[in-house]
Structure 1
Amino acid sequence: MTNHINPAHASPVNAEPGSLSVAAFHKTGRQPGSLRQKGIGIVEVMVGVLIFAGGVIAVTGMQSQAIRANHDAIQRSQAVWMVNAAAEVMRLNPAGLANSAYQRESSNASANLGSYCQASPPRCIGTTCNADQMAAFDIHGLMCSSANIVIEPRIDISCDGSCLPTDKVRVLISWAARGTEKGVLGDRQQVEFRYVRN
């Protein structure tokens, strides 16, 4: 006796467990294999782009901070050199300090450095200068040589008394530091040096 198999109830050949038969796909209106995702979707691409962009922004921010820190270090080093150089020239010219010539010149230079540096200083190289001329020459060279390195440098020179040999001399260099945003100046930084005039 021959057994007849109804095609509607027949199992598909080579069918994977849990998979739909061809007839079932035809009933649902879907094509075989359409349930399996192939390639990379737009969501995965967008997530990858966002992660990459975040990394680039983080690296750029770190580089900006490093540049700012390096610039601040250069300015501080120049300011330290300036206070030491000012102390040395005033030790060589105590009369200019005693008659307040250095104090006047430092005030003039700090008031408007641009116009101050445009004026020609006294010629004290190869010629003889008095104490006041030497003070003007020293401050002009000190401040104008640092104008392109230090942002808005200012110098303040004062004595505790009348600048006698036993009085303390104070030299203060201040400058404008860069803020967190490009081109914005933050709080002023300063370097102070004190010594006994003798």
Structure 2
Amino acid sequence: MINRHHQKGVGLVEILVALLILAIGVMGFIALQYRAIEATAESGARIQAINLARDLAERMRVNRGAENVYVQQLNTANAQLSFSTNCFTANCSSTALADFDVAQVATKARSVGMTVNFLNCQGNNDGRRCIYVAWDDTAATNGALNEGNCTAGNVYDPNSTCLIMEVY
């Protein structure tokens, strides 16, 4: 025969243990949801960056004769947002069109919290250029590793949040 006097409170302990196990399971689910939200935000930023880089690449392909203007305008942060002629309302030379294209793309990039640059592709010697699009705390530049640049010489910085598209 079981002595019921010694069984008092055991049901309460069992319920507390079950609640502890349930709480641990819920915490794992919360962590999983948080990571899913981060991944969704990252994929959205990558889509924005791909669209910006593709837009700029297509504009450059159409206006091939003004590559030097694209290089100069994109590599000068203060010149990226300004343009001399509105090519929507006036006929533009290839130089003015390149100036206008850079301003259009850079303005769109800034509106979504991104920066754009046009640099020599790292790791090759054939003069190819790459469009860099960066967001968050990353600069669309080549510099030292782990200092907030997309690349460091021939190495992609694994801590950066950027996209690099080769253009030729």
Structures share a fold, TM > 0.5?
A: yes
* Structure 2, gaps ≥5 residues long: 139-147, 149-157
Identity across matched positions, percent? 19
1:74, CA displacement in angstroms? 1.4
Which AA in structure 2 matches 1:157? F
**Paired residues for 1:75-90 under 5 Å:** 75-90=45-60
Closer/same/farther in 2, CA of residues 135 and 38 from structure 1, 3 Å limit: same
Which AA in structure 1 matches 2:51? W
Check if 1:156 corresponds to 2:156: no
1:173, CA displacement in angstroms? 2.1
Equivalent residue number for residue 144 of structure 2: none
Equivalent residue number for residue 40 of structure 2: 70
Residue of structure 2 aligned with 1:187, choices 159, 162, 166: 159
Equivalent residue number for residue 135 of structure 2: 175
Check if 1:101 corresponds to 2:73: no
1:121, CA displacement in angstroms? 7.2
For 2:92 and 2:63, how far apart are their aligned partners in 1? Answer: 11
Closer/same/farther in 2, CA of residues 36 and 155 from structure 1, 3 Å limit: closer
Closer/same/farther in 2, CA of residues 38 and 77 from structure 1, 3 Å limit: closer
For 2:10 and 2:61, how far apart are their aligned partners in 1? Answer: 79
Closer/same/farther in 2, CA of residues 82 and 53 from structure 1, 3 Å limit: same
1:65, CA displacement in angstroms? 0.5
Which AA in structure 2 matches 1:154? T
TM-score (norm 2): 0.66
For 1:80 and 1:139, how far apart are their aligned partners in 2? Answer: 16
* Structure 1, gaps ≥5 residues long: 1-17, 20-31, 161-165, 179-184
Paired residue secondary structure (2:90): coil
For 2:9 and 2:48, how far apart are their aligned partners in 1? Answer: 63
TM-score (norm 1): 0.57
Which AA in structure 1 matches 2:58? E
Equivalent residue number for residue 151 of structure 2: none
1:33, CA displacement in angstroms? 5.2
Q: How many residues are matched?
A: 146
Which AA in structure 2 matches 1:191? L
Equivalent residue number for residue 22 of structure 2: 52
Which AA in structure 2 matches 1:124? C
Equivalent residue number for residue 10 of structure 1: none
- State whether residues 176 and 187 of structure 1, in contact with CA within 8 Å, keep that contact through their aligned partners in structure 2: no
Closer/same/farther in 2, CA of residues 33 and 176 from structure 1, 3 Å limit: closer
- State whether residues 156 and 171 of structure 1, in contact with CA within 8 Å, keep that contact through their aligned partners in structure 2: yes
For 2:85 and 2:159, how far apart are their aligned partners in 1? Answer: 34
Which AA in structure 2 matches 1:103? V
Which AA in structure 2 matches 1:144? T
Q: Which has the larger radius of gyration?
A: 1
Which AA in structure 1 matches 2:108? S
- State whether residues 154 and 173 of structure 1, in contact with CA within 8 Å, keep that contact through their aligned partners in structure 2: yes
For 2:6 and 2:120, how far apart are their aligned partners in 1? Answer: 88
For 2:69 and 2:96, how far apart are their aligned partners in 1? Answer: 8
Which AA in structure 1 matches 2:133? I
For 1:148 and 1:57, how far apart are their aligned partners in 2? Answer: 36
